[in-house]
Amino acid sequence: MPLHIETPLVPSSPLSREGLEVWLKLEALQPPGSFKIRGIGHACERHAQAGKRRFVSSSGGNAGLAVAYAGRRLGLPVTVVVPETTSARARALIEAEGAELRVHGAAWHEANALALSLVDETTAFLHPFDDPLLWEGHASLIDEALRQGARFDAVVLSVGGGGLLAGVVEGLKRNGLSTPVFAVETHGAASLARSVEAGQRVELSEIATVATSLAARQVCEQAFELTKRHDIRPVLVSDRAALQACERFLDDHRLLVEPACGAALAALEVADLTAFRSVLVVVCGGAVATIDTIRAASAALAPAA
């Protein structure tokens, strides 16, 4: 049995409108709270089969939580290195899965450097998004949606480092589909959109967004290269729109998601979907968000002009 579960595929009356049917793939219902367990669980199983006896990760968010969950399920020890900015709630969730938690550095790249230094011949390093094993595992989302009877002519998803995007495109291709993908970022974390504009992969000088799961200064090379071979359409939304989408989704579907996921939901209002009849939205999840943090982030934003 894989470490991820089959998540519901449901139609959304509140998000649908005349001429456009919206289907939701509810990855927020995965046991660790996000789609990450698809790829990370797949990678951890492969590493365990290859004889690795320990896992190390460098993410204080959904990826770190997924590694901790996978390690517990597989009976292998896990060390997760997080930066100092990682919230108390995220730290507690990782430790609740039985992982060793180390706090190091002011940013992810510093935590990542320490994590890499802990790797030896019996240890597998789990990157949060840049790993072919992850993309292969994430592709199961499309396999599953099609098996559940989904019929869609576009996909909408959020992009941080690009692992979900790479996996979804792999899933489409292995099912013989060339379906367009709307790749959503917030304005303050638009590493993919800026790369597409520049015609080369760029690194953002700074990140300024409440959608911390999208806060990758640079998308992985695979995600950028796919924009040259697949119909990938960058979409940008504001932090305010992402947060408002989280609250609406809670009201409409009784499910709380993080701002990174709210960005994909918000894109339904700004993306040009006039050419499509049915879209699949990846409700990617986020175990760290609470309604209090969502509302505090909204209150902290500058007043709308």
pLDDT digits (tens, 9 = 90+) for 171-192: 999 999 999 999 999 999 999 9
Architecture of domain 36-129: 3-Layer(aba) Sandwich (3.40)
pLDDT above 70 for 290: yes
pLDDT above 90 for 47: yes
Average pLDDT in the 11-36 region?
Answer: 97
Sign of the C-alpha dihedral, residues 130, 161, 233, 262? positive
Distance CA 171, CA 140 (A): 6
For 126-164, how does the pLDDT look when each residue is reduced to its tens digit (9 = 90+)? 999 999 999 999 999 999 999 999 999 999 999 999 999
pLDDT at 106: 85
Strand ranges, E, within 75-226: 78-82, 100-103, 123-126, 154-158, 181-186
CB atoms < 10 A from the CB of 59, how many? Answer: 29
- Residue ranges, comma separated, of all CATH 3.40.50.1100 domains in the chain are 9-35+133-300, 36-129
pLDDT above 80 for 305: no
Residue of 15, 10, 116, 14 whose CA lies nearest to 59: 116
Question: Hey, what amino acid is at 66?
Answer: A
For 190-244, how does the pLDDT look when each residue is reduced to its tens digit (9 = 90+)? 999 999 999 999 999 988 999 888 888 999 999 999 999 999 999 999 999 999 9
Q: Which CATH number fits domain 9-35+133-300: 3.40.50.360, 3.30.930.10, 3.40.50.1100, 1.10.287.1770?
A: 3.40.50.1100
Identify whether the C-beta of residue 22 lies closer than 8 Å to the C-beta of residue 63.
no
pLDDT at 215: 85
For 251-268, how does the pLDDT look when each residue is reduced to its tens digit (9 = 90+)? 999 999 999 999 999 999
